[in-house]
Structure 1
Amino acid sequence: MKILVTGASGFIGSFIVEEALNRGLETWAGVRKSSSRRYLQDERIHFIELDLSDKEKLKQQLADTNFDYIVHAAGATKCLHQEDFYKVNTEGTINLVKAILELKMPLKRLVYLSSLSVFGAVREEQPYHEIEENDVPHPNTAYGKSKLEAEKFLESVNGQLSYIILRPTGVYGPKEKDYFMMAKSIKQHIDFSVGFKCQDITFIYVLDVVQAVFQALDRGKSGRKYFLSDGKVYQSTEFSDLLHAEMGKPWWLRIKAPIWVLRVITFFGEYYGRLTGKMTVLNNDKFNILKQRNWRCDIEPAVDELGFHPQYQLKRGVKLTVKWYQENGWL
């Protein structure tokens, strides 16, 4: 069996490649010409350069190999300009799917990694309830909107292509860079949180996402969409508390600021990024993500239909993540 993983050099993609090799699959890593191969060192990996921005080039690049499975993990989570999210996340997905269909590739299944962010701030009234698949999405970030448009395109080809959509909540783990910024800040003795209203947050460790990917390939129902989390709900300070403990409890100053302070910081962060051409974590999308109070989601369909059972609760996952950061010189 041949499997193609797009975005293979990325955080989640590299773990999917590793698991595919462990399962004995002929594993192809879809990368850009400029992609780092730092985490793709196994000599069993087959590399294929993919240009997701150009359907005709994609057809040429994919023409010589028929894949049994494709995991589409390529995507952008941060962009300088909002239109770039659509170019990468939406148009890139459309180009890939059209290329597969026009080549008449005998694909058994495609798994698309979407995001809980496609829903935006729904069910925000207290007490908070789980976001469910029948809720109407109202994405409030360019990232979420671009992912939702990609999902809609997949729905439009239902029947022509067997696909599964996975919607993980916040994914953390070794190699991940956004949550790492929180760990780095704590090491520098500052913990920053915003908003005084209760916030329910969910997380998922990267290897639990990988588990779900292969369960979806094995037994997911075509056209289905599954939420993924570790099944627990946390409060806003729990992640940083665990980071602090795993890092030996350095002295710290915990700053809690109102939402309007975050709005000011992200406004200037976005402006600075565009002015310098450097992407920053503190941008308008990040404001809407941090402002959102309810990140609960219903994972029961994934449990029932995929056999998904998270193996990494937050305490265990953070411990492994901090250990990796330390061993690899990040902290």
Structure 2
Amino acid sequence: MGKGAGIEKVLVTGSTGFIGKRLVAALQEKGFVVRVFLRNESVSEGLFPESVAVVRGGYHDRAALAAAVDGVQRIIHLAGVTKAADEAGFDSGNVYPVQQMLDAVKRHNPDLKRFLLVSSLAAAGPAHEGRVGVREGDTPLPVSAYGRSKLRGEEVCLKSAGSVPVTIVRPPAVYGPGDRDILQIFQMMQKGMLVSAGNASKQRFSMIYVDDLVAGIIDAACSEKAAGRIYYLAAPRPYSWENLIAAVKPAIGFSRLMRITLPRPLVYALGAILGAFGAITGTLPLINRDKANELVQDFWVCSPDRAAAELGFHAETSLEDGAAKTVAWYRDKGWM
């Protein structure tokens, strides 16, 4: 945490998501004064303490953006979309808001200490092999419209690096209390089944527990060394499906697990069929060809070495502890 952090004001976007809520709480615990930028339709009643200031508006609303960025020392831009019908839809959620926010900073808060963009491993694409993983200096090769939009958001951010001190973090799969994506996997396991796509025995993936990610985001937003830099925030080693099963089993308590692995051609076929159906009906399908291309990759793995060396960041929550905390939260909320 930087000097004077106790009196610093931080603006957070995307604060109503499962990461955002934990981030706002952690910032307040560290003594920051927190402001959030919410869409007009976002429900926030009872979500934040009264000490959290709320500015409402859209990213097209210059007056609202001016009010949001005015007087803050740091901005953490977490907002974005993970599902959209096409590239334009992803850009409207992952690129346009970044540009609008940075333009507002240049007009109304030229002394901002840091603009931190929360991007994604998807912007870089998968690794060639699972032991080391992608590093920040590797050429990005995203394999989906979502990943390409996150990369374009990064490019917009870096173009402003000469006038705004920017930092980008790329988390891999994030899990923890409130996450609905890994909930589906845990619910399957509870029923004694696990469905995966591609070469399950070969696949490796990086993950990070939400509270570790939040700590890394705050570290990166406050470190002087982080200006102009990109970081992967992840657990120190990648996991296999077997690692995940072993970690989750004590928490869920299943006795047997039926493994179903969908081969690549079938996953692509399902993606094409469901994607076409979604296009006809105007709905967002559970899987399309683009999502299928993400699911079948072997190595969604990244290296956290730069974050460790420059920020002193280490993801401290083991997969076993993180799974136990997450399952306990799901059960407490009646989700499992």
Determine if the TM-score, normalized by the shorter chain, exceeds 0.5. yes
Select 1:18's aligned residue among 3, 6, 25.
Answer: 25
Could you say what secondary structure the match of 2:267 adopts? helix
How far apart, in 2, do the equivalents of 1:204 and 1:257 lie? 25
Residue matched to 2:139? 136
Q: What is residue 30 of structure 1 aligned with on the other side?
A: 37
Shift of 1:129: 3.3
TM superposition shift of 1:98: 0.9
Equivalent position of 1:323 in the other structure? 328
Q: Does the CA-based 8 Å contact 1:14-1:39 persist in structure 2?
A: no
Provide the rounded CA distance (Å) in 2 between the counterparts of 1:107 and 1:73: 17
Match in the other structure for 1:185: 188
Does the CA contact (< 8 Å) of 1:21 and 1:27 recur in 2?
yes
RMSD: 2.0
Partner of 1:209: 213
SS at match of 1:191: strand
What's the counterpart of residue 5 of structure 2?
A: none
- 8 Å CA contact 1:183–1:240 kept in 2: the answer is no
Aligned residue number for residue 8 of structure 1: 15
Name the SS for the 2:95 alignment partner.
helix
Q: Does 1:273 align with 2:278?
A: yes
Q: Unpaired segments of 5 or more residues in structure 1?
A: none
Distance 1:150 1:314 in 2: 30
Between the aligned partners of 1:266 and 1:178, the Cα distance in structure 2 is: 18
What's the CA shift string for 1:263-313, capped at 9, x where partnerless?
Answer: 122223323434444434423333122211112222111011111011112
1:68 to 57, 68, 73: 73
Q: Is 1:296 equivalent to 2:281 in the alignment?
A: no
Q: Is the 8 A contact 1:189 1:252 kept in 2?
A: yes
1:194–1:258: 8 Å Cα contact kept in structure 2? yes
Deviation string for 1:228-261 (max 9, x for gaps)? 1111111134324433431121554321221112
Q: Secondary structure at the match of 1:100?
A: helix
Q: Confirm or deny: 8 A CA contact 2:171 2:213 kept in the other structure.
A: yes
Residue 327 (structure 1) shift: 0.4
Matches within 5 A, 1:89-108: 89-108=94-113
SS of equivalent residue, structure 1 residue 44: coil
Percent pairwise identity: 29
Q: In structure 1, what residue type is equivalent to 2:30?
A: R
Residue pair 2:77, 2:117 contacting (<8 A) in 1 also: yes
User: CA–CA distance in 2 between the matches of 1:39 and 1:312?
Assistant: 29
Residue 204 of structure 2 contacts residue 299 of structure 2 at CA under 8 Å; is this kept in 1?
yes
2:125 and 2:141 in contact (8 A); partners too: yes
The farther-off stretch of 97-106 and 167-176 is 97-106
Moved more, 197-206 or 29-38: 29-38
Gaps of 5+ in 2: 1-7
> Which of 280, 289, 294 in structure 2 is aligned with 1:284?
289
Match of 1:49 in 2: 56
